[in-house]
Amino acid sequence: MSKAQLDPNRPSEALPTIGILGAGKVGTVLARLLIGSGYRVLISGSGAPSKIDLIIDVLVPGATTGTSAEVAAAADVVILALPLGKALPLGARETLPLDELRGKLVIDAMNYWWEIDGVRDDLNDPTVATSELVQRLLSDSHVVKAFNHMGYHDLDEGPRPTGAPGRRGIGIAGDDDADLAAAAALVDAAGFDPVRVGTLHESFLLQPGSELFGANFPADEVRAAAARFPRTERGLELAAQRAENDRTVPADTVRV
């Protein structure tokens, strides 16, 4: 632990404590935005907190560093802002603090990006959204996909107060109303309009290769792009591949 002690037993305050796993481009921007809205933010990198103390001091004053396990244990809501290939390593399940994430809302901001993650067929299966894989790994957590489609520069430069003209929208996807509402509150606090675009299974429409990936649109355009996704080339291709998969894979096959 560094800079401030993480205390999982401290009394809760009105706003949930946010943990961010990943102290890179997106993790530091989200940390800064949420601290600006009054949240207590804890953040970790891949190793000892001392490795990120300096960068956090400079980029995110007010954030507290810790190990990923400490951050996850002390947070009410955890944002995954690390490379997907590190969160879902082949043949291993030890890089995320699974026990500490149990029962918590986990916001999946990650994408499969082969230049970073390597060529990984398991992360590039057109019939299973990557957030579904995250949910399967974190089977006792509540996963919502959010903050993944907007580039970190746009996240950094785009926040506006609720109701401000031209405010940008961020698509969120999940399977539970209460989880989606909690994620929406965070998106709003970060300075963006939350737009529900579907379930985790449907969150393919937020992934690389879809129109919304990279989008920096107002909410009504995010909504419109989500609605037309099934008719896009990518959406049609996905539907065909999923139909083919349903014909050939037994319904109870576990694909992770």
Under the binding rule (CB under 6 A), the answer on residue 110 touching ligand NAP is: yes
- Comparing CB distances to ligand NAP, the nearer of 40 and 149 is 149
> What's the half-sphere exposure (Cβ side, CA atoms, 13 Å) at 91?
0
- Comparing CB distances to ligand NAP, the nearer of 50 and 162 is 50
Under the binding rule (CB under 6 A), the answer on residue 67 touching ligand NAP is: no
Decide if 190 contacts 33 (C-beta within 8 A). yes
- Comparing CB distances to ligand NAP, the nearer of 43 and 105 is 43
- Comparing CB distances to ligand NAP, the nearer of 49 and 198 is 49
Under the binding rule (CB under 6 A), the answer on residue 47 touching ligand NAP is: yes
List 6, 21, 34, 128, residue binding ligand NAP (CB under 6 A): 21
The helix/strand/coil state of 125 is coil
Q: At what angle do helices 25-36 and 177-190 cross, to 10 degrees?
A: 80
Question: What is the footprint of ligand NAP within residues 148-177 (CB under 6 A)?
Answer: 148, 151-152
Residue range at the interface with ligand NAP (CB under 6 A); choices 2-10, 17-25, 31-39, 161-169: 17-25
- Comparing CB distances to ligand NAP, the nearer of 79 and 189 is 79
Under the binding rule (CB under 6 A), the answer on residue 109 touching ligand NAP is: yes
Mention every residue, 6+ apart, whose C-beta is less than 8 A from residue 79: 18, 19, 20, 21, 22, 27, 30, 106, 107, 109, 147
End-to-end CA distance of the chain: 33
Where does this chain bind ligand NAP (CB under 6 A)? Answer: 21-27, 44-47, 68, 81-84, 86, 95, 109-111, 113, 148, 151-152
